Amino acid sequence: MRNLRMLFLLAGVLPFTSCGTFKSYVASYSIGLSEVESPADSKQQFGETKVVSFNEEGVNKYRYEDDYIDIIWYVGLKKFNFTLKNKSGHTLKINWDDV
C-alpha cells in the first residue's frame, strides 16, 4: 500500500517538474582596424604602409603591410587568427608581452 501511495504521489508530481531549461546566449561583435601606430619617421624607415579591410568567403579580414611585414588578421568564433609574413629578410621578434 505504501508503494502504491508513492507511485500515485510521483505520478501526480512528476508532470509538474522539469529537468531545467538550458538557455544559450550568443554574442556578436563588430571588430575593425582603426589605426596603426608607428614612429614619426616611419615612412622613411618602413616605407609606404597599406591598411585595408576585405571580405573573404564571408569573413571580414584586415591587412597591414609595409616594407617589413604583411599581416592578415580576423576574429573567429573562438580565437583570434592571423598570418604574419616577414618581408624584411632578417629575423623579427614579437614581444608577446606588449601585444
Q: Mind listing the pLDDT tens digit for each residue in 18-61?
A: 556 778 877 766 666 666 666 666 666 778 888 888 999 988 89
Q: Under a CB-based contact definition with an 8 Å cutoff, are residues 72 and 63 in contact? A: yes
Measuring CA to CA, which residue among 60, 53, 64 is closest to residue 87?
64
In angstroms, what is the C-alpha Rg of the chain? 28
* DSSP code at position 97: G
81-97 confidence digits (pLDDT tens):
999 999 988 888 888 88
User: Which 8-state DSSP code applies to residue 82?
Assistant: E
Alpha-carbon span 53 to 47, nearest angstrom: 20
The model carries a pTM of 0.57
Per domain, the residue ranges of the chain are 44-87
Q: Tell me the C-alpha distance between 49 and 65, whole Å.
A: 6
